[in-house]
Chain A
Amino acid sequence: MSASHDDHHHGPAKGLTRWLYTTNHKDIGSLYLWFSFAMFLLGGTFAMVIRAELFQPGLQLVEPNFFNQMTTMHGLVMVFGAVMPAFVGLANWLIPMMIGAPDMALPRMNNWSFWILPFAFAMLSSTLFMDAGAPNFGWTFYAPLSTTYAPSTVTFFIFAIHIMGASSIMGSINIIATVLNMRAPGMTLMKMPLFVWTWLITAYLLIAVMPVLAGVVTMMLFDIHFGTSFFNAAGGGDPVLFQHVFWFFGHPEVYIMILPAFGIVSAIIPTFARKRLFGYDSMVYATASIAFLSFIVWAHHMFTVGMPIAGELFFMYATMLIAVPTGVKVFNWVATMFRGSMTFETPMLFAIAFVVLFTMGGFTGLMLAITPADFQYHDTYFVVAHFHYVLVPGAIFSIMAATYYWLPKWTGHMYDERLGKLHFWLSFIGVNVLFFPQHFLGLAGMPRRIPDYALQFADFNWISSIGGFLFGASQLILLVVVIKCVKGGKKATPQVWEGAQGLEWTLDSPAPYHTFATPPDPKLIHAQ
């Protein structure tokens, strides 16, 4: 509406340079999202190799060394290449439109933070073609397997991690600067959509922990090349120090990948329930509590390293506490749906599946917090099932929900609802067939990261692999839906969804290249 006159004033450049030189938040958002999808397919391909090798007992397709490279690359590419950039892409597209800002606060840095990413991943992936092979020490790269005993390509890995970290830090600075400085008049902090809130908190988490990751890989670099002994007991160092530093980054990292998902789901459920989000304030406080707690629970990843009992107890209690704010969120979503007027378009289906399956991941998380029980669960497929439930039907379903939800706003066309629903149902069935049996495998004693297994694990591995292939193949439908929607389709209205609230829905569909060059009318800003 208000911004359409900006259209002719300054459009995008033509050709490749539009994307190379762009400082436009929408272009950069699209770049991030396409890049993330490409990495999702790449990381997914690695996962398919893993599931294919595990289809039957015995070694069939790949050598154990290559198998380890696949598990490592799958984790790294999915975490740093698929999930994180997807959320940054969504933040780029949505935060300025949601808070009534014309663009991100630091547009040139925005360009740079995206364009260093393809180089980082090209470098990381290129190790697959080197003689020494890709990193094979797991995405958690515990020393000394990743230092003294690592393939020589570990140095490329370290450099790639540095670049990814720099990109994330710049992205976070940009988001914080944008949210704190560029909100339209009337957009007070407690009126911000939850997606903006969760991203603001996420950005602080990123700034706090990415330097720690950079630190730990630098310590590795020094151990490998400059004769230090941070993680080498023979030189007076401590391998467990690596784990403490890594998980001080790693645990907040887990929340970095889930907090923006909370924001997305908190936007979608009210829209399709046609009812205001229940407990907005408590959602904000719960997000902040989870972020705080994420800094004091890291050693629950390390219950078996032999910490003193006081440490074990502290980390058990702190970890259990996370269930409280997380519970508040889930209850709020259910209360939002309760006595609503619901319809079930694709974004809502993904959002509901998110709530159910993420909560199941939360339950297993609570089980894992119980230290003595964790001694049995630790490093088994139970853990694999747990974090995949949180990350795939958790984080990734939320990204898909967001894609379907805002796609009409981005492209100006409605997507193919039948294909969208097909994509949802195949993904939903696939993901459960893939990961649910892994709970049983873990409880029955199958360790993670093994290329071959004892015969009693054969049945569930076979089922899990079938689910994996189904889930993997289904993701190509998403690609078809998005391409079809970009090319054409039913014209989308500005409002798009009957129950949608927020500034982005006051703009035309597709959103003009430049929006909110003049601030929106404060009367358009409602409490969430």
Chain B
Amino acid sequence: MLPKAKLWLSLIGAATILFSTQIQAAWELNMPRGVTQISRDTYDLHMQILWWCVAIGVVVFGAMLWSIINHRKSKGAVAATFHESTKVEIIWTIIPFVILILMAIPATRVLTEAYDSSESEIDIQVTGYQWRWEYRYLRKDSDEEEVSFYSILSTPRDQINNQLPKDETYLLDVDNPLVIPINTKVRFLVTSNDVIHAWWVPDFAVKRDAIPGFINEIWTIVEEPGIYRGQCAELCGIEHGFMPVVVHAVEQEEYDAWYAAKQDEARVAREMANNVVTMSESLEAGEQVYNTTCIGCHQPNGTGLPPAFPALAGSSVVNGDLEANINLLINGVPGTAMAAFGRQLTPVQLAAVVTYIRNSFGNATGDLVQPAAVNTLIQAAQ
């Protein structure tokens, strides 16, 4: 009874493994083939080694299953007495070795290709922060307006907390995606401002650790226009699961237009630092900044997660000296998770968020901070 049941279970198991390869194609359970030469080569390597494993598995597990079925005591099997054979052992040492060499050759070729980041046409510095990515397009000429921006998760908190239905791109959407042209060699210079992150786009087969103090190189040539999504792949603290990577690969003309628009935006932002803002504008803009930048640690209602992440509600800093409060945001608190936001946020954003926290969560200082004031403090800090 029981042996029979076991036999059936083994057969079902074997059938599942066989069919699962069929299912994989339809259900996208496998590694994506991607849209670059390297990603397709990587996929082929993956499938090649997978099939070697399946083949070896069929032989080894087949021999084992056959023995289990036929060489059981209940069937009257009598144990043989052999217990070694130099010949057999040499054979099954050499065969795996040969298979390994067959695998190592294409793997070496693909790796060598992936490591050749020379002759790139566009260089982008990718910097990881807790918990956002910064993209800075390296200029050919220092007179050009620089394009550099942060890319932050744009999935609303209410979806994460199950108060709203989840979008199709849940957790995989950002406010400002990276934009690159297709059929162009783009080199990424990956680094970090705090802990180690990893920048990953599965469809490009590009994954590189972002390490503070060091710069890693990696490149891609995307062949098809599209929106490609990935995530941070190295544990980087609380919001590690909430820092996606989104890349728009577009035609060259579209890229040029986008790039010019971004340059204009940067010019305007620089000029806006001198504008005077109203309380209601500030509170609205500040809430937006808070919800994308501060909320992970300081929490939706400003309660924080003490002691590592202090509360803002009723905080002596937030309700204390205004200038000290602004400086704290600009410079961060060394040795803690509080980053220096002086470079990460614009003076307009910094002014707005300081206004917001000093007038929310039960804090009521009534202070309205102007971007120009923040700008002065930033200049002083440098």
- Contact pattern, A 413-449, Cβ under 8 Å of B = 1, otherwise 0: 0000000000000000000000000001001110111
**In the complex the two chains form, is A340's CB within 8 Å of B80's CB?**
yes
Asked whether B258 is an interface residue with its Cβ less than 8 Å from the other chain, the reply is: no
Name the interface residues of A285-344: CB closer than 8 Å to any CB of B: 304-306, 309, 312-313, 316-317, 320-321, 323-324, 327-328, 330-331, 334-344
**In the complex the two chains form, is B208's CB within 8 Å of A373's CB?**
no
**In the complex the two chains form, is B306's CB within 8 Å of A131's CB?**
yes
**In the complex the two chains form, is A144's CB within 8 Å of B79's CB?**
no
Taking the nearest CB of chain B, how far is it from the CB of A376, in angstroms?
6
Taking the nearest CB of chain B, how far is it from the CB of A169, in angstroms?
29
- Contact pattern, B 190-207, Cβ under 8 Å of A = 1, otherwise 0: 100011101010100111
The stretch among B210-218, B265-273, B362-370 that forms the contact with chain A is B210-218
- Residues in A with CB closer than 8 Å to B108 are 313, 316
**In the complex the two chains form, is A58's CB within 8 Å of B42's CB?**
no
- Contact pattern, B 169-195, Cβ under 8 Å of A = 1, otherwise 0: 111100000000000000000100011
Taking the nearest CB of chain B, how far is it from the CB of A142, in angstroms?
6
In the bound complex, how far is the Cα of B93 from the Cα of A321, in angstroms?
11
Name the interface residues of B22-57: CB closer than 8 Å to any CB of A: 24, 28-32, 38, 41-42, 45-46, 49-50, 53, 56-57
User: Given that A339-B79, A379-B233, A445-B231 are known contacts, is A281 also in contact with B308, CB under 8 Å in the complex?
Assistant: no
**In the complex the two chains form, is B79's CB within 8 Å of A273's CB?**
yes
Asked whether B159 is an interface residue with its Cβ less than 8 Å from the other chain, the reply is: yes
The stretch among A60-68, A174-182, A206-214, A254-262 that forms the contact with chain B is A60-68
**In the complex the two chains form, is B170's CB within 8 Å of A455's CB?**
yes
**In the complex the two chains form, is A239's CB within 8 Å of B41's CB?**
no
In the bound complex, how far is the Cα of B82 from the Cα of A390, in angstroms?
30
The stretch among B95-103, B311-319, B346-354 that forms the contact with chain A is B95-103
**In the complex the two chains form, is A375's CB within 8 Å of B205's CB?**
yes
Closest A residue to B74 by beta carbon equals: A343
- Residues in A with CB closer than 8 Å to B202 are 376, 445
**In the complex the two chains form, is A281's CB within 8 Å of B84's CB?**
yes
**In the complex the two chains form, is B241's CB within 8 Å of A339's CB?**
no
**In the complex the two chains form, is A334's CB within 8 Å of B60's CB?**
yes
Taking the nearest CB of chain B, how far is it from the CB of A240, in angstroms?
6
- Residues in A with CB closer than 8 Å to B207 are 304, 375-376, 378-379
**In the complex the two chains form, is B93's CB within 8 Å of A149's CB?**
no
**In the complex the two chains form, is A278's CB within 8 Å of B83's CB?**
yes
For the residues of B in contact with A, the DSSP-based class is mixed
Q: How many A-B residue pairs have CB under 8 A?
A: 287
Asked whether A453 is an interface residue with its Cβ less than 8 Å from the other chain, the reply is: yes
**In the complex the two chains form, is A64's CB within 8 Å of B238's CB?**
yes
User: Given that A131-B307, A304-B198, A443-B31 are known contacts, is A452 also in contact with B209, CB under 8 Å in the complex?
Assistant: no
In the bound complex, how far is the Cα of B92 from the Cα of A121, in angstroms?
44
User: Given that A68-B238, A339-B79, A443-B30 are known contacts, is A334 also in contact with B107, CB under 8 Å in the complex?
Assistant: no
Name the interface residues of B304-362: CB closer than 8 Å to any CB of A: 305-308, 335, 337
**In the complex the two chains form, is A142's CB within 8 Å of B160's CB?**
no
Asked whether A118 is an interface residue with its Cβ less than 8 Å from the other chain, the reply is: no
Task: From B30, B172, B234, name the one whose CB has the most chain A CB atoms within 10 angstroms.
Answer: B234
Give the residue of B29, B73, B81, B305 whose beta carbon is less than 8 angstroms from that of A443: B29
**In the complex the two chains form, is A453's CB within 8 Å of B171's CB?**
yes
- Residues in B with CB closer than 8 Å to A450 are 231, 240-241
Taking the nearest CB of chain B, how far is it from the CB of A300, in angstroms?
12
Asked whether A366 is an interface residue with its Cβ less than 8 Å from the other chain, the reply is: yes
- Residues in B with CB closer than 8 Å to A343 are 72-74
Asked whether A189 is an interface residue with its Cβ less than 8 Å from the other chain, the reply is: no
User: Given that A142-B196, A343-B73 are known contacts, is A380 also in contact with B162, CB under 8 Å in the complex?
Assistant: no
Asked whether B257 is an interface residue with its Cβ less than 8 Å from the other chain, the reply is: no
Asked whether A360 is an interface residue with its Cβ less than 8 Å from the other chain, the reply is: yes
Asked whether A122 is an interface residue with its Cβ less than 8 Å from the other chain, the reply is: no
Give the residue of B50, B79, B237 whose beta carbon is less than 8 angstroms from that of A149: B237
- Residues in B with CB closer than 8 Å to A142 are 195-196, 234-235
Asked whether B139 is an interface residue with its Cβ less than 8 Å from the other chain, the reply is: no
**In the complex the two chains form, is A378's CB within 8 Å of B84's CB?**
no
**In the complex the two chains form, is B77's CB within 8 Å of A373's CB?**
no
Interface residues on B, range: 35 or more
Asked whether A6 is an interface residue with its Cβ less than 8 Å from the other chain, the reply is: no
Give the residue of B68, B107, B211 whose beta carbon is less than 8 angstroms from that of A370: B107
- Residues in B with CB closer than 8 Å to A13 are none
**In the complex the two chains form, is A356's CB within 8 Å of B64's CB?**
yes
Asked whether B15 is an interface residue with its Cβ less than 8 Å from the other chain, the reply is: no
**In the complex the two chains form, is A452's CB within 8 Å of B171's CB?**
yes
Asked whether B247 is an interface residue with its Cβ less than 8 Å from the other chain, the reply is: no
Give the residue of B29, B46, B79, B241 whose beta carbon is less than 8 angstroms from that of A367: B46
The stretch among B110-118, B141-149, B286-294 that forms the contact with chain A is B110-118
**In the complex the two chains form, is B104's CB within 8 Å of A337's CB?**
no
User: Given that A275-B83, A366-B49, A447-B233 are known contacts, is A306 also in contact with B211, CB under 8 Å in the complex?
Assistant: yes
User: Given that A239-B213, A343-B72, A376-B42 are known contacts, is A455 also in contact with B166, CB under 8 Å in the complex?
Assistant: yes
Asked whether A265 is an interface residue with its Cβ less than 8 Å from the other chain, the reply is: no
Taking the nearest CB of chain B, how far is it from the CB of A25, in angstroms?
30
Asked whether B236 is an interface residue with its Cβ less than 8 Å from the other chain, the reply is: yes
**In the complex the two chains form, is A327's CB within 8 Å of B67's CB?**
no
**In the complex the two chains form, is A57's CB within 8 Å of B166's CB?**
yes
Closest B residue to A270 by beta carbon equals: B83
In the bound complex, how far is the Cα of B298 from the Cα of A65, in angstroms?
12
Taking the nearest CB of chain B, how far is it from the CB of A329, in angstroms?
11
User: Given that A58-B162, A340-B77, A447-B232 are known contacts, is A330 also in contact with B211, CB under 8 Å in the complex?
Assistant: no
- Residues in B with CB closer than 8 Å to A379 are 198, 207, 233-234
Asked whether B78 is an interface residue with its Cβ less than 8 Å from the other chain, the reply is: yes
**In the complex the two chains form, is B230's CB within 8 Å of A445's CB?**
yes
The stretch among A80-88, A132-140, A461-469 that forms the contact with chain B is A132-140
- Residues in B with CB closer than 8 Å to A234 are 212-213
In the bound complex, how far is the Cα of B143 from the Cα of A213, in angstroms?
51
Asked whether A145 is an interface residue with its Cβ less than 8 Å from the other chain, the reply is: yes
Name the interface residues of A452-509: CB closer than 8 Å to any CB of B: 452-456, 460
The 20 listed contacts between A and B (C-beta, < 8 Å) are A58-B159, A58-B160, A144-B196, A239-B213, A306-B190, A309-B115, A312-B115, A327-B93, A330-B60, A336-B83, A340-B71, A360-B57, A366-B53, A371-B107, A372-B205, A376-B46, A378-B207, A379-B234, A447-B200, A454-B170
Q: Supply 7 further A-B pairs (C-beta < 8 A) apart from A148-B335, A379-B234.
A: A151-B308, A306-B208, A306-B217, A324-B93, A360-B57, A376-B205, A376-B207
Residues of A within 8 A of B (CB): 57-60, 63-65, 68, 131-133, 136-138, 142, 144-145, 148-149, 151-152, 233-234, 238-240, 273-282, 304-306, 309, 312-313, 316-317, 320-321, 323-324, 327-328, 330-331, 334-344, 352, 355-356, 359-360, 363-364, 366-367, 370-373, 375-376, 378-380, 440, 443-445, 447-456, 460
Residues of B within 8 A of A (CB): 3, 6, 24, 28-32, 38, 41-42, 45-46, 49-50, 53, 56-57, 60-61, 63-64, 67-68, 71-74, 77-85, 88-89, 92-93, 96-97, 100, 103-104, 107-108, 110-112, 114-115, 130, 159-162, 166, 168-172, 190, 194-196, 198, 200, 202, 205-209, 211-214, 216-217, 230-242, 296, 305-308, 335, 337
